[in-house]
C-alpha cells in the first residue's frame, strides 16, 4: 500500500467513524478530495470486507431516520436509490420489516396525518385532495392514503 492508498483509507475511516456512508457517497467524497475512482475502489472493497463500510447498514440507518421523521416507503426507496442503494441488490435490508418495528406504515401515516391535520373531519373534496397530495409527497401510496382518509372521523 503506497502513500496515496493510505491517504484514501485514512479519509474513508475518518468519514465512517462519524456516521455510516454508502459506497456511492464515499466515492463522491473521495473524488472531491482528488482521489481517483480506480485508486479508491480497491480500498473500499477492503473496507467492506473488513465490515467498516456496509450499504445495508447505511440503508437501515438512513431509512430509520426518515421513518421517524414521517416519510413513507416510496420516498425512502427513492432517496436510497439516489444515494446508491439498490434495494433489489441489498437482500439483508428489509424496509418493510424496519417499518414494522415502529408499528407499520399505517401507523407512520396516521402519526404524520394527525400531527398536521388533527383528528377533525375532512370538510370537503378540495381539502381531501389537498391532504392527499401532502401525504403523497411524503411517500405514502394512494391505497394507504385512501384507507386512512376513509377511516378518519366524519369525512364529508
pLDDT (tens digit per residue) in 112-124:
999 999 888 888 8
- Global pTM reads 0.87
Q: Would you say residue 156 lies in a domain?
A: no
Q: Would you say residue 155 lies in a domain?
A: no
CA dihedral sign of residues 48, 53, 57, 59: negative
Q: Are residues 42 and 64 in the same domain?
A: no
Cell output for 68: 421517524
Domain coverage including residue 35? 3-53
- Residues belonging to the chain: 156
Q: Would you say residue 145 lies in a domain?
A: yes
Poorest-pLDDT segment among 16-30, 77-91, 131-145: 77-91
CA dihedral sign of residues 123, 125, 129, 130: negative
Q: Are residues 114 and 125 in the same domain?
A: yes
CA–CA separation, 42 and 48 (whole Å): 10
Q: What is the pLDDT of residues 39-95, one digit of tens each?
A: 999 999 999 999 999 999 999 999 999 999 999 999 999 999 999 998 888 878 888
Among 1, 4, 48, 51, smallest CA distance to 23 is for 48
CA dihedral sign of residues 16, 101, 78, 148: negative
Q: Are residues 44 and 62 in the same domain?
A: no
Whole-angstrom CA distances from 137 to 22, 26, 111, 116, 144 are 24, 28, 15, 14, 13
Report the CATH number at residue 141.
1.10.10
Q: Are residues 68 and 89 in the same domain?
A: yes
Amino acid at each position: 500500500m503506497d502513500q496515496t492508498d493510505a491517504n484514501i483509507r485514512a479519509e474513508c475511516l475518518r468519514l465512517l467513524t462519524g456516521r455510516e456512508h454508502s459506497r456511492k457517497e464515499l466515492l463522491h467524497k473521495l473524488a472531491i478530495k482528488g482521489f481517483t475512482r480506480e485508486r479508491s475502489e480497491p480500498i473500499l472493497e477492503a473496507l467492506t470486507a473488513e465490515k467498516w463500510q456496509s450499504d445495508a447498514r447505511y440503508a437501515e440507518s438512513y431509512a430509520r431516520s426518515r421513518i421517524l421523521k414521517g416519510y413513507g416507503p416510496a420516498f425512502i426507496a427513492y432517496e436510497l436509490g439516489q444515494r446508491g442503494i439498490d434495494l433489489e441488490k441489498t437482500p439483508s435490508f428489509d424496509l418493510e420489516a424496519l417499518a414494522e418495528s415502529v408499528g407499520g406504515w399505517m401507523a407512520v401515516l396516521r402519526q404524520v396525518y394527525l400531527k398536521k391535520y388533527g383528528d377533525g373531519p375532512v370538510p370537503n373534496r378540495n381539502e381531501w385532495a389537498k391532504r392527499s397530495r401532502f401525504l403523497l409527497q411524503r411517500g405514502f401510496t394512494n391505497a394507504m392514503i385512501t384507507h386512512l382518509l376513509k377511516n378518519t372521523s366524519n369525512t364529508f
